[in-house]
Amino acid sequence: MASAGGSLLVLPAVLHLRRSDADFTAALRERFRVLDFFASGQPLPAFLAAAAAAPEPPRAAVVVGGGSVRVDASFLDAVPSLRCVVSTGAGVDHIDLDECARRGVAVANSGEVYSTDVADYAVGLLLDVLRRVSAAERYVRRGSWPAQGDYPLGSKLGGKRVGIIGLGNIGSRIAKRLEAFGCIIHYNSRKPKDSISYKYFGNVHDLAAESDVLIVACALNKATRHIVNKDVLEALGKGGVVINIGRGANIDEAELVIALREGKIAGAGFDVFEHEPKVPAELFSMDNVVLSHHVAVFTEESRSDLRAHTVGNLEAFFSGQPLLTPVDADSLVQ
């Protein structure tokens, strides 16, 4: 590409460590020299070594959560030129924020791009579990209705006590939606929220004991790994329902499977799993469980918004402007 003065304009290099659709990749290539890991066919160490050895090594990287690439000390050692990491998800458990801060590497995430869609999806999962929508649909498709009569009734959403773990951008939107259904909202976070009328619980066990539904909407970190464990599930009780649109490892998945199998809770809705894409086989035969493949964030609109948001963060970095959605450890308090 030539500039107006005739000199060669070198686009800034960006590491692309995410499987993307053609539109996303094209939007990056219009503005940056994209070094695409998945298109390279190389093992990650060789790919990073080649990028670091380039005459104009990359100063920014685009990464995705839940994948095989973790931005930690060894990653940053491999590409010492990096000064910015942009995650295309809201969660940043795949990024060592402390190490990035120590090295002066700025971090950005997707901000609120997905928040509305994930909140909608959480409510959809809850409605499906309570009203048995998917299970009844399978019943009808099997032709069981004429032979066996009506499918067993579900439970209403209105009036349910809903405990939300993590009242951040997504959790607060879930709360507003469920208020409209007549639900009673409780929440847990690291500290109470100012100007919030919902009842606050300092620990998840007590929250579960006062809830009919637990919705996991928190970030994944050392404090929140397996925040929903055996004791919490027992406190929730036989009539309780768990919805997870956070991260799979927020829940002790093995204990949740046991609780469902033994009837210690009434049902669950999962969009995320502890060892994705592996899903515990026992869940497949449970009609009180709704499963989806980590898609709560994705709509046609959110894909378009994410492209623009990612490019915006990168352009801000390369122009020396503040990132659109900077992230540090303190900003993740929910």
Residues with catalytic function:
247, 276, 294
Closest CA to 294 of 254, 250, 245: 245
3-state secondary structure string across the chain: CECCCCCECCCCEEEEECCCCHHHHHHHHCCCEEEEHHHHCCCHHHHHHHHHHCCCCCCEEEECCCCCCCECHHHHHHCCCCCEEEECCCCCCCECHHHHHHHCCEEECCCCCCHHHHHHHHHHHHHHHHHCHHHHHHHHHCCHHHHHCCCCCCCCCCCCEEEEECCCHHHHHHHHHHHHCCCEEEEECCCCCCCCCCEEECCHHHHHHCCCEEEECCCCCCCCCCCECHHHHHHHCCCCEEEECCCHHHECHHHHHHHHHCCCCCEEEECCCCECCECCHHHHHCCCEEECCCCCCCCHHHHHHHHHHHHHHHHHHHCCCCCCCECCHHHHCC
Question: How far from 50 is each of 57, 58, 78, 159, 249, CA to CA, in Å?
Answer: 9, 11, 10, 58, 34
